[in-house]
Structure 1
């Protein structure tokens, strides 16, 4: 078993010396390419442990014993319940809408009857325990969470070596959840690196499935979720779309519920945006006119998608008449209510796509454009501000504040699983140069609330990153829509 050394039992610190000196119990000077002691004695110096060897240590036996001896069923159950309550939401069908749409909505069914020693059960418990540890600031639970996650990795390896388990829905979900664990447990940039690795690994496993494996409600929901995560990862890395991803929408296009078709078509457009942004990066295209000519056709498709949405996808906007916010701070006084959290999250994916698109246009124009490109800047700034506002308007709904159907009042809810889907759109809004500073502070407050409530360290690090944004100093800015923006 591999676990983080910070979470191990009292086995002592690891020596950086070579194995020969450690075996002989003498001090190693760690000279390269071979230590002095080995050279003097005529030994072949085996070299020194790598950084990963120093950070991780093999403790399969001790961790397995600890799980059976130290983790009581109540702790495991509590951790699992915490994860499901905070990260899983399901659409309760009324007979006309599909039961599949949600976020990790298939997890309870997959866990039902699952062995306590399975890779899926262990992974869910590890993620839940990491969240509990962060929410309660418990170092002991944090150590146990990393230990349990290490055991899950070991069990995943065994599952991937089994032809039947390697292509099962449970194994795919476990890989995705391991990426989620990194976001919950880690607050530094490495969490997104490991998250990306898990997501791209599960994308490769999809190919082993083949189209025939995606026929059930659970598998279709899973494929949609994985595609969303892959696209998000590719946007972040600005890398090209793998050929396999282009086939996925065709696998489910003819069998999904008609009310879910907009999400499928949006995925196609989003993939096209990924491809264009990757091409811009690969070819180092920085001419503002060329950049706009490549990106704006994608925006036209996004706007066509928006205009053709069915009635069930429309949201209703309300104004809180008792709000103390100023008339200009619409993100504090306006509330948008959606059919469900799944629809709201797709809407925010659309807005985030436009944020990425127009930020690319604006940043290129500011850096390489001329005075003749001012109209392009004005148009980009207008869209960026509108998309950030719309994302902020969705925050109350994701936080569980919903309007009573037969009254003008709002109600709060203890369950906020939709917040996990909110952090990336909020972060994207907060990082835009067109977002006012007061609005950035509001976004920081909401991200920290989510991070504290859900035990999600990634949200806390996002809040810190947005808070670090400084107002540009005069001297190298352009005046756009009443604000100075850095070139």
Structure 2
């Protein structure tokens, strides 16, 4: 039927929306933030992978051929509750890791539907990529770049080697045309060229299996920053360009934290110059300075710098202040055990309006968790060395035994609170029970915080056990080898990979 022009809250609640600006009457009555109104002429996607998979299975059971036509392809409205794919809804009793055979002529369509509807949901690509696909393109790189990411993500979900071959073929094609665009002074400044670089980085993150640093993703991230410098002030003229800038600067901050290096000063200068053009209320912009401080502190820890208690406390206070700036509609609501899911932690879970909001909160929690781990470690070192001759350098800022003991006990208490809050957000990344209650695709963002939590001996045994169980379940539900590898590394107490890039993507 005709797509609805109502705001998102009214569409979800199936209410009649009067479409008044700046907010509709229904949202005023319910005292919630109105999300605004979409362009009904823009292309929209619906995830058809489950329905196509079921149809294929029925055809196989009857012994018939795939008799599917192009009507299985849908460009309907994106749904807020993202469904699973064929591999998660097998009707023949097979293993969830086994790929479901799909007709070759529909592989690209189904992979695109999965990518646009499920994978990029709650990611930085969601606001602009689905609309971009149906537009006229200025370069030859954009379509193979999208197809490479779509085939790679769908191949990962279905564990289909043939799909991954298609993904790599499209990746090679996209890389070739992207390099041609970068060599052209005019094409290098296009939004599509920057999008291609970001998509190539996404591809590298998806195919990265562990055992080494995600060098491919890092290289594309650094390349994207160079493009920001070339694009200059003109890049802020459109909404999409501003979204791309925000996504890229978040990528580089993520990369710096992951590589344990401080954010380069020239990058900070670039962000400062761009600040008048950016949305100061956007969560990524608000949290940016805290990420910069966290990257600097993590680099100092990696370099063996001592006496970091005051620095960690300062970053933690900044993170707490940031929580006060979060808009009311992004707050979470606790649910008790009577109405919570099986993945509720300590009989309670937190409900968020969107999974994107849960990611923002978990980002703040992870920053604070790292700060309090630093405080605990450095206060413990100071307590051990304070009164030993020649070992006073650890106590230049706090040299009282009672003061050091207070900081260590406070850090231990805060870590328990943060681990509880983080684990109570896990159920937000589950599909509805009507769809099986499995982890949704965006649950990949849980791999990094769960791995950090499970690996740290400062966290409680119950939390670490719960985190490992979640990792195994995410790996099973999403066919993600990274989650299984993270769980095994944690249980075997091996050096764990830093999966931070999966959190942001």
Same fold per superposition (TM over 0.5)? yes
Q: Which residue of 2 aligns with 1:277?
A: 298
1:356 aligns with 2:370: yes
TM-score (norm 1): 0.68
Q: Which residue of 2 aligns with 1:206?
A: 228
- Alpha-carbon spacing, 1:302–1:130, altered in 2? closer, same or farther (3 Å): same
1:157 aligns with 2:157: no
Distance 2:187 2:158 in 1: 35
1:184 aligns with 2:218: no
Secondary structure of the residue aligned to 1:336 is: strand
1:340 aligns with 2:362: no
Q: Which residue of 2 aligns with 1:46?
A: none
Secondary structure of the residue aligned to 1:225 is: helix
1:74 aligns with 2:95: no
- Alpha-carbon spacing, 1:159–1:278, altered in 2? closer, same or farther (3 Å): same
What is the CA-CA distance between 1:206 and the residue it aligns to?
1.2
Tell me the alpha carbon deviations over residues 263-300 of structure 1, each in whole angstroms, 9 at most, x when there is no partner: 42221122122223324544x312xxx21022211211
- Alpha-carbon spacing, 1:323–1:240, altered in 2? closer, same or farther (3 Å): closer
Tell me the alpha carbon deviations over residues 381-429 of structure 1, each in whole angstroms, 9 at most, x when there is no partner: 2222222221211111123459xxxxxxx99778935324333233332
- Alpha-carbon spacing, 1:207–1:378, altered in 2? closer, same or farther (3 Å): same
Q: Which residue of 2 aligns with 1:51?
A: none
Tell me the alpha carbon deviations over residues 282-337 of structure 1, each in whole angstroms, 9 at most, x when there is no partner: 4x312xxx210222112111111113433223211112226698xxx972532212
Checking the alignment, whether the CA contact within 8 Å between 1:330 and 1:389 is kept in structure 2 is no
1:434 aligns with 2:466: no
Q: Which residue of 1 aligns with 2:165?
A: 143
Q: Which residue of 1 aligns with 2:44?
A: none
TM-score (norm 2): 0.66
Q: Within 5 Å, which residues of 2 pair with 1:55-454? A: 74-89=106-121, 103-113=125-135, 118-190=140-212, 192-247=214-269, 249-250=271-272, 253-257=275-279, 260-282=281-303, 284-286=304-306, 290-321=307-338, 331=345, 333-367=347-381, 369-370=383-384, 372=401, 373-401=404-432, 416-454=440-478
What is the CA-CA distance between 1:225 and the residue it aligns to?
1.9
What is the CA-CA distance between 1:234 and the residue it aligns to?
0.8
What is the CA-CA distance between 1:221 and the residue it aligns to?
2.0
Q: Which structure is higher in strand share?
A: 1
Checking the alignment, whether the CA contact within 8 Å between 1:132 and 1:455 is kept in structure 2 is no
The unaligned stretches of length 5 or more in structure 2 are 1-102, 386-400, 495-505
What is the CA-CA distance between 1:242 and the residue it aligns to?
1.5
Secondary structure of the residue aligned to 2:186 is: helix
Checking the alignment, whether the CA contact within 8 Å between 1:183 and 1:458 is kept in structure 2 is no
Checking the alignment, whether the CA contact within 8 Å between 2:447 and 2:483 is kept in structure 1 is yes
Tell me the alpha carbon deviations over residues 86-116 of structure 1, each in whole angstroms, 9 at most, x when there is no partner: 32226xxxxxxxxxx9553211122223569
Secondary structure of the residue aligned to 2:350 is: strand
Distance 1:73 1:114 in 2: 23
Secondary structure of the residue aligned to 2:335 is: strand
Checking the alignment, whether the CA contact within 8 Å between 2:450 and 2:471 is kept in structure 1 is yes
* CA RMSD of superposed structures (Å): 3.2
Distance 1:343 1:245 in 2: 27
Q: Within 5 Å, which residues of 2 pair with 1:465-480? A: 465-469=489-493
Checking the alignment, whether the CA contact within 8 Å between 1:133 and 1:455 is kept in structure 2 is no
The unaligned stretches of length 5 or more in structure 1 are 1-70, 91-100, 403-409, 471-487
Distance 1:368 1:197 in 2: 39
What is the CA-CA distance between 1:342 and the residue it aligns to?
2.3
Checking the alignment, whether the CA contact within 8 Å between 1:122 and 1:148 is kept in structure 2 is yes
Distance 1:252 1:416 in 2: 35
Secondary structure of the residue aligned to 1:241 is: coil
Checking the alignment, whether the CA contact within 8 Å between 1:220 and 1:252 is kept in structure 2 is no
Checking the alignment, whether the CA contact within 8 Å between 2:429 and 2:443 is kept in structure 1 is yes
- Alpha-carbon spacing, 1:184–1:444, altered in 2? closer, same or farther (3 Å): farther
My pick for the range that moved more, 239-248 or 347-356, is 239-248
Tell me the alpha carbon deviations over residues 178-215 of structure 1, each in whole angstroms, 9 at most, x when there is no partner: 22222322312336222222212212221112233023
Checking the alignment, whether the CA contact within 8 Å between 1:186 and 1:457 is kept in structure 2 is no
Q: State the aligned residue count.
A: 375
What is the CA-CA distance between 1:248 and the residue it aligns to?
5.0
Secondary structure of the residue aligned to 1:331 is: coil
Checking the alignment, whether the CA contact within 8 Å between 2:439 and 2:478 is kept in structure 1 is no
What is the CA-CA distance between 1:362 and the residue it aligns to?
2.6
Checking the alignment, whether the CA contact within 8 Å between 2:340 and 2:348 is kept in structure 1 is no
